[in-house]
Amino acid sequence: MTDLLKFDFCEMHIYDCYLIVIINEGLVVEPKHNSVLKNVADAYFKNRSFVYITHRINSYSVDPATYIETSKICNLKGFAVVSKDFKAKSNVEVEKLFLNNKPIETFDDLNAAVSWAKFILEL
């Protein structure tokens, strides 16, 4: 890990080619939160690809319009959701409709998501 960033709505664990984000309990993730992701992408992944891994250990919701903005991050190559919760997994099917041209996968295990992220970046 290269860094741990804490914000009022989440914490981000930054690695060489991916980041793991844990969103705070009860939050509604909105398009305005993308400015933080964009700034982190610019600072840590400038001129190189990365994968966003959301570790959904807390319950929160996402405004689908958020994914439209997330899709605009050019060097974002994939989006992984880690959760054992059936509802969180089923929400990903809706989220896929808004995350344009980016692969999105769900995983029960964080290690599987990290392996997938590394695989996606090798393509």
Nearest to 60 by CA among 32, 27, 97, 106: 27
What pLDDT, in 10s, does the model give residues 88-101? 777 888 888 888 88
Q: Tell me which amino acid residue 98 is.
A: F
User: Does the predicted model carry a pTM greater than 0.85?
Assistant: yes
The total number of structural domains that make up the chain: 1
What pLDDT, in 10s, does the model give residues 56-85? 999 998 898 898 889 999 999 999 999 988
R_g (Cα) of the chain, nearest Å: 13
**CATH classification at residue 18:** 3.30.750.24
What pLDDT, in 10s, does the model give residues 100-117? 889 999 999 999 999 999
pLDDT at 90: 78
